[in-house]
A and B are shown apart, each in its own frame.
Chain A
């Protein structure tokens, strides 16, 4: 996308009216164009005020009782003090010490694995923050963090790159789908990573190209054609050669 085209699309981008492919291309331009970033901020100022403008124009007013209902709904519950009966205190103290020691040993044994996993999670989070707009970050969060989230793990099928992996998240009550792939080898010039999905009714869909950064990380956020999309398989290919794959008989939770 060249500068003039990107510049013309900024208003639509701020409105959230671009197709996913157009939005992705514009984000790439924004990453390297300060002028467009500055212009986008002025359009986002407009979208930030649209609900306020609607409230100014609307004759309908919120009922005062709603505030009490909402504030009461978020009030943290007071912590209940569960004091055991006095004659139980020595036993409870001993049990607490045993549990503390056991959990400390367990935590020690897991620390290294968890630290490694935490680093990877933090890296992915940083990528989301730096590559997506705040509205899209929120879309990602909504898909990843809900009681109706399904996660599929794509594992390497390429012996030369066994560390490559990916994850696909869907949500039972939403159409948004998030895919993140990591530790991918850098594509040669002209090569493309493509995600291909097989839906529950047997259709093959390709939501788009995965653009790998210099760390081997790629991410895709797209809207499926229905809420709660279900897939049989997901595969990421590099010029047709599968790198990572998930099938419904594999791991999913």
Chain B
């Protein structure tokens, strides 16, 4: 039975104007949004950005269609669009700096895993897997997701062949995915070892 407090149900209640549901979603996602915004936009703009993202959630909740995907995918798309739009104003160099800073944060030991309200095992598993990734794979994933750069742009910025970037992205994502799979027999793509990367 689906709980009435799952993200999707709460979003339907937010669409109906229910402040309590909105508050529950805020408590569930505020820390994630803040960490994202503060590392991307800096402490001076992070709170305003979080406020704008949650305001957009309030305004757009009725447009969320649970049959098309999960709430978290939709909400992070809103957040990412907002953060990247702000970042683009700061220029390409700043996007690179942000991606590098986030890659560094992701490489450090976890600050306080218990501090994230509602943190699921998946988040801590993924944080651990990111920390264990080879630096060059963690770097391109951060540049793509948090910096909003395409593989071609990453290749140009790093001055490496596009094929190398594609390989780093693919290997990195396969490893992260493996970290989220339940324990059991290996399935899917065979995963080369971390040091197997070669430049095509």
Contacts and interface: CB of A to CB of B under 8 A. Distances in A.
Interface of A: 7-12, 14-19, 39, 42-63, 66-67, 69-71, 73-76, 129, 134-135, 137-139, 141-142, 173-175, 227
B38 interface: yes
B149 to A, nearest CB: 7
Contact of A55 (B31, B85, B150): B31
Given A57-B110, A139-B81, A19 B150 contact: yes
Contacts of B63: 141
A138 B35 CA distance: 22
Contacts of A18: 150-151
Interface string B19-30: 100110011001
B160 interface: no
Contacts of A137: 68
13 contacts: A17-B145, A17-B150, A46-B176, A55-B35, A57-B110, A58-B35, A58-B38, A62-B47, A67-B23, A129-B68, A134-B77, A142-B81, A227-B88
Given A57-B110, A57-B130, A48 B30 contact: no
Contacts of A42: 177, 180-181, 188
B198 interface: no
Given A54-B32, A61-B34, 12 more contacts: A17-B154, A19-B151, A45-B180, A51-B76, A51-B79, A53-B130, A55-B36, A56-B116, A57-B108, A62-B31, A137-B68, A138-B77
B31 A44 contact: no
B4 interface: no
A55 B105 contact: no
Q: Interface of chain B, helix or strand or loop or mixed?
A: helix
B185 to A, nearest CB: 15
B123 interface: yes
Q: Interface of chain A, helix or strand or loop or mixed?
A: helix
Contacts of A46: 126, 173, 176-177, 180
A56 B110 contact: yes
Nearest to A59: B111
A189 B182 CA distance: 47
Contact of B149 (A17, A48, A53): A17
A16 B88 contact: no
A67 B22 CA distance: 11
B158 interface: no
Nearest to A132: B68
B10 interface: no
A11 to B, nearest CB: 3
**Best-buried of A45, A63, A74, A135 by chain B (most CB within 10 Å):** A74
A47 B76 contact: yes
B145 A15 contact: yes
B110 A175 contact: no
B93 interface: no
Contacts of B26: 67, 70-71
Interface string B39-81: 1000100010011001100101001010011101110111111
Contacts of B34: 55, 60-62, 66
Given A73-B55, A74-B22, A173-B85, A15 B141 contact: yes
A14 B76 CA distance: 12
A198 B63 CA distance: 34
B62 to A, nearest CB: 12
Contacts of A53: 106, 123-124, 126-127, 130
A141 to B, nearest CB: 7
B94 interface: no
Contacts of A141: 60, 63
A134 B169 contact: no
B17 interface: yes
A249 to B, nearest CB: 31
